[in-house]
Amino acid sequence: MSCVADPSDWIERGARDYPDRLFLAMPAGRRYNYADLRGESGRIAAALQGLGVQVGDRVAVRVEKSAQAVLLYVACLRLGAALVPINVACSPNELEYFLTDSKARVAVVDPADLASLRPVATQAAVEHLVTLGADGCGSLTDLVERSAAILESERNVRPDSLAAIVYTSGTTGRSKGAMLTRANLASNATVLADSWRFTGQDVLLHVLPLFHVHGLFAAINTVLASGSAMILMSKFDAAEAVSQLGSVTVFMGVPTHYTRLLQEAALNRAAAARMRLFVSGSAPLLAETHQEFFRRTGHQILERYGMTETLMNTSNPYEGARVPGSVGRPLPGICVRVINTETGAVETAPETIGTLEIKGPNVFAGYWQDAQKTRSEFTADGWFKTGDLGRIDGNGYVYIVGRVKDLVISGGYNVYPKEIESELDSIPGVAESAVFGVPHPDFGEGVTAAVVLKGSASLSEADILNAVRPRLARYKLPKRILLVAELPRNTMGKVQKNILRANNSSLYITG
C-alpha cells in the first residue's frame, strides 16, 4: 500500500492538493482549512524542535480537547515525535508514571494545572513542561509566536518510526504503553477512509476524547486521509449533537452517546436527513439500541471492533448487512482467527467460541520497554493475542463474547457473560446488565449479574431470575441479581467488571 511506503503522504495530501478546503471548525468558533493546518502545525513543530525534540522523542500531552490540541497532534506527526496522549482525568500519581515510563522529553499540560503538576514533571525528569489551554493560550503558544520558524518538510522518518505510545487502561495492573508506528496509523487511516466511503464532501461530528485511539486515530486520521472536514465539539452534549446533525454527514460515537441521543425528542428522520453514516465502537452496542436508532432515524449504526494495540480490526460493511450484535468482518489486509482456549489449536468450524487473534499492518510494534510482555502477547507465528473471546459465523462476521479474564468457570462449566447479558437485556424493564464471576465455596465462581432497571420499572431479583430461568441452562443462571443504579464505566463507556468483581468478592463467602 502506497501510504506505508510513504508514511507522511496521508498527512500532507490535504495541504498539497486542496489547501482551501475546510479541515476543522469549532461550533461558533474559528475555522481552519488545510493550508491553515499545515502552517499552524508547522509552527508548533518548529517550536517543539526548538526545545530539542527530535525524531522518536516522546511528547506527552494532557490537555483539554481543542483545535490547538489537534494541531499539536499533527505537529508531532510531521516532526516525527511520538505522541503520548494522556487522559486529563488521570491523577498526578498516574501522570508521574506515564511521564517516567515514557521518558517524555516534553510534557504539555493545561495552564491551570501548571503549578500542581510541575513537581510531577520534575520528579519524572521531563526536560520541558509547557502549557496549552483550550482557548489556545499558554507557554507553547508563546514559543510559537516568538519564533517565525515553520517546519516545511518532514524529518527523517520511516514507516516503522514510532508515532505514538498509548497507555492501556491498566485494569489488571500497571498500564502498558502500546507502541504504534507511522505505518500502523497510515494503513488504518486509508483502509477506514476507503471502507467507510469517506470523500472530500464529508464532515465528521467529532465528539470523542483525544486521549484514546477512537477519537484520535480512527476519527482524525480518517479525516486527514480522505481530505474531509470535522466539526470539533469540546465535549459530548446530546442536545448540541442533535442540533449539529444538519451540518455534518458522519458521526462516530460510543454506545453511551447513542443511548443519550435517543433520549432527545429532536432526534428523528428529519434531523438525520443529511447524515450518511453513524459509527459505534469502544464498547458493545445493545441490539435494542441498534433497532431503536433505526426506527427513529432510518439509519443503521455501523459497529466496528478495535483495540489500543491494533487500532481498528473489523467493521460491519458500508454496503451490505449491518448485523446487530456483530462487529462485522475483518477489514482489508487484516486477519482474525479463533483459538481453542484449552488446546491452543486454530478453530476452523463456524460459531466456535475461542480467543481472538489478529494479524495485519495495523498491529502495534509491541509494549514500550517491555520485551517480555510483548513476547507473551504474540504467538510464535506473529499473531497478536487480543484477550477477547469471540466467534466467527459462516458469513465471516465476528461476534465478541467477552474478555478472557471475564470468562466465568462455574462448577467446571465455561459461562460466557455476553450470552446471559443478552437474555437479561431482553427483559422488559431492564436497561442494561453486566455478568461477572466472584468466588463461590461450592462452584469455584458464582455467576453474578448487576442489573440497571429502566426508570419506571419495578422488577425484583426474583422477577428477573424467573424471567431468564426458562431460557438458560442451570449452570448459566445467575446465583444473584444485584439491582444497581448504574454500571461502573471508564471514560470510553466500557463497563469495568474488575470493579464489580472487587466490590462483590465476598458475596458468597460467609464467616
Asked which of 403, 436, 461 is the last residue of a domain, the reply is: 403
Give yes or no for a contact between 65 and 210, defined as CB atoms under 8 angstroms apart.
yes
Domain boundary among 172, 200, 228: 200
Residue 308, SS3 per DSSP? coil
Provide the sign of the torsion angle of the four alpha carbons 109, 115, 117, 122, taken in this order: positive
Task: For residues 129 and 8, state if they share a domain.
Answer: yes
Q: With respect to residue 511, please indicate whether it lies within any of the assigned structural domains.
A: no
List alpha helices for 378-496, DSSP H: 417-425, 461-468
In a domain, 226, yes or no: yes
Determine, yes or no, domain membership for 171: yes
Are 89 and 56 contained in the same domain? yes
Cα 10 to chain centroid distance, Å, stands at 21
What pLDDT is attached to residue 10?
Answer: 86
Residues 6+ apart with CB under 8 A from 157: 7, 8, 55, 80, 182
Query: What pairs with residue 167 in β-bridges?
Result: 177
Cell representation of residue 354: 475461542
User: In whole angstroms, what is the distance from residue 77 CA to residue 106 CA?
Assistant: 15
Co-location of 192 and 236 in the same domain: no
How much of the chain is in helix, strand and coil states, percent to nearest 5?
A: 35, 25, 40
- Listed residues 373, 403, 433: the one ending a domain: 403
Q: Look up the domain containing 133 and give its range.
A: 2-19+29-200
- Check whether residue 167 and residue 315 sit in a common domain: no
Question: Is 254 in the same domain as 311?
Answer: yes
The answer to whether residues 135 and 220 belong to one domain is: no
- Our count of domains for the chain comes to 3
CATH code for the domain in which residue 171 is found:
3.40.50.12780
Per-10-residue mean pLDDT, the chain, length 511: 53 92 93 96 95 96 97 96 93 92 97 95 97 95 89 76 88 79 96 97 97 94 97 96 97 92 96 97 84 96 96 97 94 97 92 96 97 95 95 96 85 83 93 92 88 92 94 91 93 86 89 55
In a domain, 40, yes or no: yes
What CATH number did the domain enclosing 486 receive? 3.30.300.30
Residues 195 and 344 in one domain: no
Does 374 fall in a domain?
no
pLDDT at position 188 is 96
323 with 419, same domain: the answer is no
Question: What is the structure's pLDDT at 443?
Answer: 83
Shared domain check, 246 and 170: no
Residue 364: inside a domain: no
Is 150 within a domain?
Answer: yes
Radius of gyration (C-alpha) of the chain in whole angstroms: 23
Residue by residue, DSSP assigns 9-64 as HHHHHHHHH-TTSEEEE-TTS-EEEHHHHHHHHHHHHHHHHHTT--TT-EEEEE--
DSSP 310-361: TEEEEE--SSS---TT--BEEPTT-EEEEE-TTT-PEE-STT--EEEEEEST
The answer to whether the pTM exceeds 0.75 is: yes
Grid coordinates standing for 272? 438525520
